[in-house]
Structure 1
Amino acid sequence: MSTKYAPAQRVANQKQDVWSIINEAAAASPVQPIVNMGQGFFGYNPPQFILDAAKSALDRVECNQYSPTKGRPRLKKAIADAYTPFFGRKLDPETEVTITTGANEGMLSAFMAFIEPGDEVIIFEPFFDQYISNIEMPGGVIRYVPMHPPADGAERTSSAANWTIDFDELEKAFNDKTKMIVLNSPHNPVGKVLSKEELTRIGELCLKYKVIILSDEVYDRLYYVPFTRMATLSPELAQTTLTVGSAGKNFYATGWRVGYLIGPPNLIKYVAAAHTRICYSSVSPLQEAAAIGFEQADKVGFWNAAVKEMKGKMDRFCQVFDELNIPYSIPEGGYFVLANLSKVKLPDGYDFPDHLKDRPRDFKMAWFIIVELGVAAIPPSEFYTDERAHLAEDWMRFAVCKNDDVLEHAKERLRGLKKYMQS
């Protein structure tokens, strides 16, 4: 093929992605239908008041046309009003909020707004995989800092708080080229909520090195321990922090692709400018529906109900690991749980496809569980660099944002692990 038709390096020579591997295993499994505990989409609809708002918006002419590029005024105001109590001051919807096409495009807009070729961005491992391509597209260089699993994670269940940051390692990642750091709390896939003390230490480093903070808080309504928002720690940090949110995550509607960023005007205006160049504006009727969602959520008790429901699902699902004596990290937030499957022995000579031969153990385990038990989960080493993939190779990520009958079905199938477990 002519080099003129060659793909750009950013998409060339990539390893087969985890999602296609999981789908391939699902198609090969004799156990059907597969119980999907892998991808983090909800197995149920948004609440009725949100659905009604979306249907109503479709009947309005202006809601079927372009929205202002920075977002519909009603949604920006609803978000500013909803977050003002958390920030402890009145947020200006016109200068401190911008709407994006999902949180992911919002983060891409933030990177495109501030990263020049050669600028460095610090991220923690494990990471949301989209961070990588989003940073590399504008020419950013990534500095990885590991979040260390609990030392006794293979022996006992403990809080996700026990995944720890080595602050000496973190400070060594900063230098004169460091432009941004990406935080994620509540964390996917670990389920850790960064403590106020941890955020304060991170914030001190960011102020010392004059670094922009991109705080990915898309699970900010699902926390089961005290939750601190980076931008609220000090006036100085408020001026250097971009907070990322997701209406799709908040309202069980991941397919709506309505995200938002909150931050100081001198940062937000450039994120909005980049967003304008990337996709101009975001989907109008679902912005209107999300606005109504934020306006009504407190009135109908939705936020408290969402936390209670998700924590109940987490507890219900993790019963199977308690039964099997499989250790796991008890999530502090979000809807993912990491289980340590080091006690599960893969049969000698098991016939794995060739493309898994050089992958870490958790990829083989994910394939094995799908093919033998019919349960899909995600190998978390996908969210590490090759150098540190070994930290995650005994773990497996399960998404619990599913109907209770699906959770029970998954538990029943996972009990089949018992015959493969070492005593």
Structure 2
Amino acid sequence: MRLLANCHQATSILGLTSKLLLRRSFSATSFIAITSTNSKMTTSDGSFKPLPGPSVHVSAQSKDVWSIINEAAASVESTGKKVVNLGQGFFSYSPPDFAIEAAKKALDVPALNQYSPTRGRPSLRKALADSYSPFFNRTLDPESEIVVTAGANQGMYAAFTAFINPGDEVIVFEPFFDQYISNIQLPGGKVVYVPLHPPSDAATRTSSAGEWKIDFDELKAAVTEKTRIIVLNTPQNPTGKVFSREELEKIGQIAVEHNIIILSDEVYDRLYYTPFVRIATLSPELARLTLTVGSAGKTFSATGWRVGWLIGHPDLIKYVAAANTRIVFTVNSPLQEATAKALVQAETNTYYHDNIVSFEKKYKIFNAIWDELGLPYTVPEGGYFVLVNFAKVQVPEDYEFPPEVTHGKAKDFRTAYWLIKEIGVVAIPPTEFYTPQNAHLAEEFLRFAVCKDDHILEEAVEKLRALKKYIKS
């Protein structure tokens, strides 16, 4: 018995010794491995080697216009001076009360804090079908013709991902929403640009946004056998143009002839001041080829909600939905439900009409200063931007500008920078939405967003009066 106990003790000691040796061996091996790894990660002086470089999708990105303009504004405000920001198109006020209340109530429902179906909540797709069917002159099927996306921009990226293969071409009208370009290039698409031409006398005469025109010979020349999509934006950012029925019919004829998808960005479709026509409603052929894009952010002054949608033929929507699932999987549930409730209520109250009236008032407040100063502007037909021609404004020749607004940038970048620094009003240089070869078409303009409280627009008007001494006769 004692012999057995001694044997057991000996075995235990041997086992413990073995474990200690293994642990020590492992520790030593780990130390060697870590030391070896560190030696590979550091340079001879002990500092870390540079991190792996970015992909080609982002490596060529320069400082964007939003950073340039917002940093200039911040530098002025850091000195204690007030700046009125009419640059980016975000609202200075909250969504309507009925939308806010719907969002608050949605958060109290347990199921609405969980995943929604990848195509969107049934309640929202039904609300969209009910809301849009009268515009399309037929009953939309919420199950097969609508997909909900994380904002209109992501929805468009899903559409490009669904239909573009490397080397395929997409026609975009200049000026364009800047996100179109990267959204097309990420899946390997090539952007083909066709400019909108402003009136030849835009520097001397206030004119309608409808006078910005497509040269249809240029559009036809841009079409090749590789063209997969034409991107349309109506009402258009930044010009405020609402494409006429005649223009849409010409674009549609080209699309039908070459079997090209039309991606119609209609996020301002509830904010127009002239008759608005949807290209998808012009013919059965165009109904099949068109993907219509909408936005809760623009419709309900809620750009941070990031709820959008696409409407189209089932054989198009199913591929957009497939791409959308792979990009975001699903869209946030409570704000989908809030959007659904808001759409239903907006059909029975006066919200849409009141919103248009409100923006007409905002334009009247703001554009009065341009009439007073004698600076021509583009009268918008839709949306909430206005382009103002600054050709008559004489910026001092010896004014000092940072390299970021001079190197490779058109005149409007310098004008916008100067306006922030000396006048205290933020605007966006629209050549950011052009290719360099066509930047000359817009370099005399600045874009202002009027989606602000009336008192903010009035404050901007007061500041802009200081331009008077800089205007040449």
TM-score band w.r.t. shorter chain: over 0.9
**C-alpha separation in 2, matches of 1:10 and 1:416:** 43
Contact map agreement 1:121 1:178 (CA 8 A) in 2:
yes
Q: Which runs of 5+ in 1 are unaligned?
A: none
Q: Does 1:371 align with 2:371?
A: no
1:278 maps to a residue whose letter is: I
2:426 maps to a residue whose letter is: A
Q: CA deviation at 1:354?
A: 1.7
4+ runs deviating over 2 angstroms = 1-4, 30-33
Matches within 5 A, 1:356-367: 356-358=405-407, 359-367=409-417
Contact map agreement 1:31 1:372 (CA 8 A) in 2:
no
Contact map agreement 2:95 2:300 (CA 8 A) in 1:
yes
Match of 2:135 among 86, 93, 98: 86
Per-residue CA shift, 1:293-349, capped at 9, x if unaligned? 110102111111111111111121100100000000000000000000000011011
**C-alpha separation in 1, matches of 2:70 and 2:291:** 35
1:399 maps to a residue whose letter is: A
Q: Which residue of 2 aligns with 1:422?
A: 472
Match of 2:59 among 6, 12, 33: 12
Q: Which residue of 1 aligns with 2:444?
A: 394
Match of 2:250 among 175, 180, 201: 201
**C-alpha separation in 1, matches of 2:139 and 2:50:** 55
The structure whose RCO (Cα within 8 Å, separation 6+) is larger is 1
Match of 1:102 among 129, 142, 151: 151
- The count of residues paired between Structure 1 and Structure 2 equals 423
Q: Does 1:410 align with 2:460?
A: yes
Question: Could you say what secondary structure the match of 1:288 adopts?
Answer: helix
Contact map agreement 2:68 2:404 (CA 8 A) in 1:
no
Q: CA deviation at 1:4?
A: 7.2
**C-alpha separation in 2, matches of 1:243 and 1:315:** 31
Question: Could you say what secondary structure the match of 1:338 adopts?
Answer: strand
Q: Which residue of 1 aligns with 2:17?
A: none
Q: Which residue of 2 aligns with 1:323?
A: 372
Per-residue CA shift, 1:215-236, capped at 9, x if unaligned? 0000000000000001000011
- Cα gap change, 1:22/1:261 in structure 2, threshold over 3 Å: closer, same or farther? same
Match of 2:315 among 266, 270, 282: 266
**C-alpha separation in 1, matches of 2:330 and 2:61:** 30
2:180 maps to a residue whose letter is: Y
Q: CA deviation at 1:13?
A: 2.6
**C-alpha separation in 2, matches of 1:322 and 1:115:** 46
Match of 2:98 among 49, 52, 74: 49
Per-residue CA shift, 1:88-130, capped at 9, x if unaligned? 0000000000000000000000000000000000000000000
Q: Which residue of 2 aligns with 1:354?
A: 403
TM-score (norm 1): 0.99
- How big is the alpha-carbon RMSD for the aligned residues of Structure 1 and Structure 2? 1.1
Q: Does 1:185 align with 2:226?
A: no
1:15 maps to a residue whose letter is: S
Contact map agreement 2:406 2:413 (CA 8 A) in 1:
no
Q: Which residue of 2 aligns with 1:253?
A: 302
**C-alpha separation in 2, matches of 1:43 and 1:26:** 17
**C-alpha separation in 2, matches of 1:117 and 1:93:** 31
Contact map agreement 1:31 1:371 (CA 8 A) in 2:
no
Q: Which runs of 5+ in 2 are unaligned?
A: 1-47
- Cα gap change, 1:51/1:391 in structure 2, threshold over 3 Å: closer, same or farther? same
Q: CA deviation at 1:31?
A: 6.4
